[in-house]
Amino acid sequence: MAMLMNPTKETMYPIYGGKTMEVSPDGGKLQTEEAAANHILNKFSPRGLCRLEFGDDEEKVAKDGLVRYYAFRKKMVMKYNQMVLARAQIGMSYIPPTEDVKRYAEDMGLALEAPFVQKSNESVIRLTELEKENKELKASIDAMMAKMTEFMGEKPDVRKFESAATTEKTEATTKKGSKKIGV
């Protein structure tokens, strides 16, 4: 048989083999089989539940359990705050804290992250604005292309004149710059 002690201020309700047990707060004890005690301690040891062995100093064991208990409570509040911030960054909805997390934060004087407005609405609005702007720009480009086609159709092909002028300049430069060498 094993003896478990709860030095915390919360009643614990461990379950083993389909049977719910109760461990009262402030030094409450539960005597159970060794296998059940090991199973229960795996879950409730971080919350402060302790095993008492014959000859143990109960005050020292309780103090160690309380250290784990306060670390557990702080960790729960920190995990909640990190989860809220992560959800806010990726645009997911806010999840309110559980009653236990609220109580832990209040007892320890820690702040809980406040509710936030979902950013997904802002991104949808911005996306709609960008789509509208994109359509306007496409219409503007289409209009410019139509005017350019119309402009190119009315006037003679400018490229033909440009290539003829370039050829004449090249021939003139070649004649000017060449020297005759006596034969």
Q: Which of 112, 127, 37 is nearest to 81 (CA)?
A: 112
pLDDT tens profile 37-76:
999 999 999 999 999 888 888 899 999 999 999 999 999 9
How much is the pTM? 0.59
The domain limits of the chain are 2-108, 119-157
The answer for residues whose C-beta is within 8 angstroms of residue 152's C-beta and 6 or more apart is none
* Distance in angstroms (rounded) separating the CA atoms of residues 179 and 23: 115
pLDDT tens profile 96-123:
999 999 999 998 898 888 877 655 566 6
* Distance in angstroms (rounded) separating the CA atoms of residues 65 and 56: 13
* Distance in angstroms (rounded) separating the CA atoms of residues 124 and 99: 34
Locate all alpha helices (DSSP H) within the chain, ordered by sequence: 34-44, 58-89, 99-108, 120-154, 158-177
Q: Which residues on adjacent β-strands are paired with residue 52?
A: 3
* Distance in angstroms (rounded) separating the CA atoms of residues 73 and 86: 20
